[in-house]
Amino acid sequence: MDESTETTASTESGEDDPIRDFAGELRRLRLDAGSPTLVNLQHRTGISRSVLSDAFAGRTLPTERTVSALVSALDEDPEALLRRRRALARAARESDAATTPSGETPAARTVTRRNAALLSVAAFTVGVLGTLGGVAVVSAVTAPRIGEPQITVANGVDPATTPCIDDAAVATSDTRAGDSLLEIIWSDKCQAGWGRLTRYDAQGAGNTVTIAIYPLTAPTGPLRMEATEHDVQGAYTPLIVRPTPDTLLCAEGDYTLNGRTVDLGGPLCI
């Protein structure tokens, strides 16, 4: 991500989710504006596609800067949504304060939450199940349900413009070089996924992020989806539909740092 303050959306089944409701309002404004692409909005706002995608999907509460720039780019007055955003952020802070143990600083709690998340991933991820030609085959964080798609989508489209984002979840993730995060996002309803790479070094300016996803059976074939973004902290690929129920989908990526390409190791597959 290229912004520093964000609040994670609740994803527990059955819970009220005001962040996703907020994202729904952003999607409505986008629809009213003629559904501009993320590339178009990135050019108009100066905000990366990955940040915009997260805002529209409700994965995080966007920062005030994102809300102001995005709503203005959609030809609307951002003030009402900015007030709503501040109220949501205030409620989140109050909730954190109410549950933070005495003597524990907010920064310490952030570290604790991250460690807990990593432990949660470890609990759900059995680990490397096998090796196929040096490719790590990793069990899923949120196991994809393999079956017939309920929604028909095309390969190569921006996932944020499809209904696939409505049930999208991280299927698998792995921390790579430089504390970067490689992920495969999956939609059961679409039977499709996309890769995402986020760097956490605050060195996006003047550098690039590259992410690709492809079927293991054809790494360089026509279904390989790849994206390279400049001056950002993260990027995601176009959408790929799983060709057959038995086909493994794999993601790989790299980023540059002062002209040097940082190798993130072997592919991550589901």
Question: Could you confirm whether domain 126-269 is CATH 1.10.10?
Answer: no
Residue-level pLDDT at 105: 41
Partner residues linked to 215 by β-bridges:
249
User: What residues of the chain score a pLDDT lower than 50?
Assistant: 1-15, 100, 103-141
| Phi, psi dihedral angles at 187 (to 5 degrees) | -120, 115
Q: How far apart are CA 121 and CA 113, in angstroms?
A: 12
Regarding pTM above 0.85, the answer is no
* Closest to 141 in 3D by CA, of 177, 174, 110: 174
Give the pLDDT confidence score for residue 138 in this predicted structure.
Answer: 44
pLDDT of residue 48: 78
pLDDT value of residue 247: 92
Identify residue 137 by its one-letter amino acid code: V
- 228 sits in the region (left: phi over 0; alpha: psi -120 to 50; else beta) called beta
Consecutive H or E run containing 70:
helix 64-73
pLDDT at position 143, please?
Answer: 59
Return the pLDDT at 97: 62
d(CA 38, CA 61): 18
Domain 7-99 has CATH 3.30.450.20: no
| Residue 81: burial class (beta carbons within 10 Å; 0-12, 13-18, 19+) | buried
Cα gap 40→181, rounded to integer Å: 26
Residue pLDDT, tens place only, 148-179: 899 999 999 999 899 999 899 999 888 898 88
| Domains of the chain, residue spans | 7-99, 126-269
